[in-house]
C-alpha cells in the first residue's frame, strides 16, 4: 500500500513525526449514481484539505490521539467506471488493510460505496450493526434502474444476513417501502415477523387514542362504529380491539347469549357495573392498556392489527381515519 506523506494526508501531520499506523484512510471518490448534483468525487480531497485546520490536541483525552493511534492516508487511485467493479475494488482494499491488522476508514464519494466497504467485516465478524446517520433511509431496492444506487446503499448492506441497522436522522422514506424487506429473507427478524403475521394476523399495530367520557353509551357506540368502519374499509386490517368489544361481550354473556344483546347497552349504570365486575375478576393491570382509570376514565386506546403491508398502505389507513 502506498501512502501520502504525513503533511499531505489526513490531519496534515508534520512529516517529522514518526509512528506506526493503526488506522488507514481510504480516499474513494466514487461518483456514479448521483441523482441531484455532482461533486462527490471531490469528497475525499476536500475532507483531507479541511482536516488540516483541525486542532490535534484533545482536552478530554489530554493528549494528541493521532500519536497513539497512528494514521496514514492512502494515495489516490483510479476508480473503475463500472460500479460493481468499483465496489469490488473497495472491498479488496479494505480486506487488504484488515489482513494487515489495521483499521480502514473510508472517505467517499457517494453513499453507494458503503456495501463495498463492509464486505470484509461481514466475513470477519459473526454479527455487525451499522450506525447510519442520514436524512434518507437509502433502502430502495433500486433507483433509476440501478441496484447499487446511492439510494439503495443501506438495502445492499442488509442483503448480508449478519448485518443489522440503527438509523439516525431519517426524515425521508419511500412511500412504497415494506419494512420486512429491510432484512434478508433468511434473517431471524424477517422470519419472526412472518410467524407473528401468520399467528396474530399481522406484526404491525396501530394505536388510536380516544378522549372523552368513555362510559357514556353514545361514546362507546361511536368507538364501535369506528372500529367496524376501519375493518370494513381497509383490506390491510386483520382485526380491531377496543373497550366497546369488552362491553358488548359482557352484555351478551349476561343475557344468556341472546344475539340481540351483542351490542352496547343504553344504560350508563349498566356499563359501569360491567366494568366494575370485570375489574374485580381480572388481573390488576388488565385495563392499563385500554383505560387510564377504571373509576373515572378520560381516555381509552383502540388497537388495530395490520397485516404485512407497505408504508403506502399504512399511510392510506391513517388518511382514511383523518377524513372520517
Element containing residue 68 per DSSP (H, E): helix 65-69
**Residue whose entry in the numeric block shows the C-alpha cell 494514521:** 71
Task: Evaluate if residue 308 carries a pLDDT over 90.
Answer: no
Residue ranges, comma separated, of all CATH 3.40.800.10 domains in the chain are 10-124
**Residue whose entry in the numeric block shows the C-alpha cell 448521483:** 34
pLDDT at 311: 66
Q: Distance between CA atoms of 253 and 268, rounded to whole angstroms?
A: 18
Q: What three-state secondary structure class fits 168?
A: strand
pLDDT at 284: 57
User: Binning pLDDT at 50, 70 and 90, where does residue 287 land?
Assistant: low
Q: Which residue has the higher pLDDT, 186 or 211?
A: 211
pLDDT at 270: 94
pLDDT at 105: 96
Going by C-alpha positions, the residue among 171, 116, 106, 186 that lies closest to residue 138 is: 171
DSSP lists the bridge partners of residue 206 as 304
Q: Which residue has the higher pLDDT, 252 or 212?
A: 252
Q: By 3-state DSSP, what share of the chain in percent is helix, strand and coil, each rounded to 5?
A: 40, 20, 40
pLDDT tens for each residue of 14-30: 998 888 899 999 999 99
- Residues 11, 66 contacting (CB under 8 angstroms): yes
Cα separations in angstroms, 181 against 150, 175, 178, 202, 312: 18, 13, 6, 15, 14
Task: Evaluate if residue 310 carries a pLDDT over 80.
Answer: no
Domain 10-124 has CATH 3.40.800.10: yes
CB atoms within 10 A of CB 223: 23
Provide the angle, in degrees to the nearest 10, between the axes of the packed helices 217-233 and 268-281.
Answer: 70
Strand 23-28 relative to strand 71-73, pairing: parallel
pLDDT at 131: 95
Q: What is the largest CA-CA distance in the chain?
A: 93
User: Looking at residues 58-81, what average pLDDT do you find?
Assistant: 92
Task: Evaluate if residue 290 carries a pLDDT over 80.
Answer: no
pLDDT at 242: 92
Element containing residue 204 per DSSP (H, E): strand 204-211
pLDDT at 177: 63
pTM for the model stands at 0.60
pLDDT at 265: 94
pLDDT tens for each residue of 103-154: 999 999 999 999 999 999 999 999 999 999 999 989 888 888 899 999 999 9
pLDDT tens for each residue of 163-199: 989 999 988 777 566 667 667 777 788 788 888 888 8
pLDDT at 176: 60
Share of the chain above pLDDT 70, in %: 91
200, three cell numbers: 396474530
User: Looking at residues 152-164, what average pLDDT do you find?
Assistant: 91
pLDDT at 133: 95
- Residues 162, 127 contacting (CB under 8 angstroms): yes
pLDDT tens for each residue of 227-255: 999 988 888 888 999 999 999 999 999 99
pLDDT at 95: 97
pLDDT tens for each residue of 27-61: 999 999 988 888 999 999 999 999 999 999 999 99
44, three cell numbers: 475525499
User: Looking at residues 246-266, what average pLDDT do you find?
Assistant: 93
CB atoms within 10 A of CB 324: 9
Q: Which residue has the higher pLDDT, 278 or 177?
A: 278
Amino acid at each position: 500500500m502506498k501512502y501520502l506523506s504525513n503533511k499531505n494526508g489526513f490531519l496534515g501531520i508534520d512529516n517529522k513525526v514518526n509512528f506506526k499506523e493503526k488506522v488507514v484512510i481510504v480516499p474513494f471518490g466514487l461518483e456514479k449514481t448521483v441523482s441531484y448534483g455532482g461533486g462527490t468525487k471531490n469528497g475525499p480531497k476536500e475532507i483531507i484539505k479541511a482536516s488540516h485546520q483541525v486542532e490535534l490536541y484533545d482536552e478530554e483525552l489530554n493528549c494528541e490521539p493521532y500519536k497513539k493511534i497512528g494514521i496514514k492516508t492512502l494515495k489516490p487511485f483510479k476508480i473503475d467506471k463500472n460500479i460493481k467493479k468499483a465496489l469490488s475494488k473497495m472491498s479488496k482494499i479494505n480486506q487488504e488493510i484488515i489482513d494487515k491488522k489495521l483499521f480502514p476508514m473510508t472517505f467517499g464519494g457517494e453513499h453507494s460505496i458503503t456495501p463495498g466497504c463492509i464486505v470484509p467485516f461481514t466475513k470477519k465478524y459473526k454479527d455487525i450493526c451499522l450506525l447510519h446517520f442520514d436524512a434518507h433511509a437509502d433502502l430502495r431496492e433500486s433507483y433509476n434502474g440501478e441496484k447499487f444506487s446511492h439510494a439503495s446503499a443501506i438495502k445492499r448492506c442488509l442483503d448480508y444476513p449478519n448485518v443489522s441497522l440503527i438509523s439516525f436522522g431519517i426524515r425521508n422514506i419511500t412511500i412504497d417501502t415494506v419494512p420486512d424487506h429491510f432484512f434478508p429473507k433468511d434473517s431471524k427478524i424477517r422470519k419472526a415477523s412472518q410467524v407473528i403475521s401468520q399467528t396474530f394476523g399481522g406484526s404491525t399495530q396501530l394505536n388510536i387514542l380516544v378522549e372523552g367520557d368513555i362510559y357514556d353509551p353514545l361514546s362507546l357506540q361511536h368507538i364501535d362504529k369506528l372500529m367496524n368502519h376501519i375493518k370494513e374499509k381497509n383490506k390491510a386490517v386483520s382485526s380491531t380491539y377496543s373497550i366497546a368489544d369488552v362491553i358488548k361481550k359482557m352484555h351478551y354473556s349476561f343475557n344468556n347469549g341472546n344475539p340481540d344483546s351483542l351490542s352496547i347497552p343504553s344504560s350508563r349504570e349498566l356499563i359501569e357495573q360491567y366494568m366494575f365486575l370485570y375489574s374485580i375478576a381480572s388481573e390488576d393491570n388488565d385495563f392499563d392498556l385500554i383505560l387510564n382509570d377504571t373509576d373515572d376514565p378520560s381516555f381509552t386506546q383502540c388497537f388495530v392489527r395490520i397485516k404485512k403491508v407497505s408504508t403506502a398502505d399504512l399511510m392510506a389507513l391513517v388518511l382514511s381515519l383523518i377524513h372520517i
